[in-house]
């Protein structure tokens, strides 16, 4: 599914973004499948058995406190106060063993012609450790933003508007790369262009369902297609790169 049929290659030919905002989990790093499996295992230990599809449809792109609140409400499960801490501890342990950047993303970061940054629903500690483990930390020094900095997380536009203000960029000149629908909706609400990346392992088995969705965004599943979609962002060979803003 290299490019979604609803918006053909060339739709962004005349768009010249001044800032690219990357989500982290599922976009830069192939972490969402690890997060989902860690959560499912821990929930089983507390007597709740749900499947990966439920996580894919209900939890992707949302902060952990939001996810935990949903579990408590939807399943009437009295999670202990230690649940979040235990989840984060196990998750980072699993990241140390299995976490990798999404294939091809470093080639994009090495050749972008404009500044870029990260905006994520993850905690500050998790995103910094995740980027470090995946070997991406050097790309985003002092240009990493989390939902902890705003009142409302995705799908509210708060985080993306906060990033645009901090980076000194008009929201209309920003391009957001997201994988989850809450992230896509947040970018749209902020008045930003958005591409939806669905190449992460957490979309295995459900990519065909995306064809039934509708909305003003382009879906792609390989970073090798990125510059075909937004050719203005590729730095000419021999020129220096953009490392943050």
pLDDT > 90: what percent of the chain?
66
| Partners of 96 in beta bridges | none
Q: Which CATH class is domain 19-30+100-233?
A: alpha beta
pLDDT surpassing 50 at residue 4: no
Q: Which ranges of the chain would DSSP assign to H, the alpha helix?
A: 32-45, 52-58, 64-74, 83-98, 105-109, 124-133, 158-167, 181-189, 226-229
Q: What is the pTM of this model?
A: 0.84
For range 184-212, the mean pLDDT = 83
Which one of 2.60.40.10, 1.10.150.240, 2.40.50.140, 2.40.30.10 gives the CATH number of domain 32-98? 1.10.150.240
At 51, phi and psi to the nearest 5?
A: -105, 170
Specify the pLDDT at position 141. 95
Q: Which residues are catalytic, by number?
A: 23, 25
pLDDT at 64: 82
- Cβ density class 152-186: b for 16+ within 10 Å, e for less: ebbbbbbbbbbbbeebebebeebbbbbbbbbbbbb
pLDDT in tens, 30-63: 998 898 899 999 999 999 999 888 887 788 767 7
- pLDDT, one tens digit per residue, over 119-166 is 999 889 989 999 999 999 999 999 999 999 999 999 999 999 999 999
Mean pLDDT of the chain: 87
Domain borders along the chain are 19-30+100-233, 32-98
pLDDT at 100 over 90: yes
Dist CA 162 CA 171 (whole Å): 10
Place of tokens 């994988």: 179
Question: What is the CB neighbour count within 10 angstroms for residue 126?
Answer: 21
Residue 15: the pLDDT is 83
**Could you tell me the maximum CA-CA distance found in the chain, to the nearest angstrom?**
58
Q: Given this model, what pLDDT does residue 52 score?
A: 84
């Amino acid at each position: 599914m290299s490019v979604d049929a609803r918006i053909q290659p060339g739709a962004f030919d005349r768009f010249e973004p001044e800032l690219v905002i990357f989500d982290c989990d599922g976009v830069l790093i192939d972490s969402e499948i690890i997060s989902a499996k860690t959560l499912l295992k821990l929930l089983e230990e507390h007597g709740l058995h749900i499947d990966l599809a439920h996580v894919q449809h209900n939890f992707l792109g949302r902060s952990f406190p939001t996810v935990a609140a949903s579990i408590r409400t939807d399943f009437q499960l009295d999670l202990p106060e230690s649940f979040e801490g235990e989840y984060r501890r196990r998750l980072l342990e699993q990241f140390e063993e299995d976490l990798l950047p999404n294939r091809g993303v470093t080639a994009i970061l090495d050749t972008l012609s404009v500044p870029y940054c990260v905006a994520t629903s993850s905690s500050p500690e998790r995103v910094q450790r995740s980027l470090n483990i995946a070997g991406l930390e050097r790309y985003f020094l002092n240009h990493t933003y989390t939902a902890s900095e705003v009142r409302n997380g995705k799908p509210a536009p708060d985080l993306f508007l906060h990033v645009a203000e901090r980076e000194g960029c008009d929201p209309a000149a920003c391009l957001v790369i997201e994988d989850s629908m809450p992230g896509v909706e947040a970018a749209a609400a902020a008045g930003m262009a958005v591409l939806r990346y669905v190449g992460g392992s957490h979309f295995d088995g459900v990519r065909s369902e995306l064809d039934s969705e509708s909305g003003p965004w382009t879906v792609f599943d390989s970073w090798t297609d990125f510059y075909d979609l937004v050719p203005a962002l590729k730095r000419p060979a021999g020129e220096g790169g953009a490392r943050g803003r």
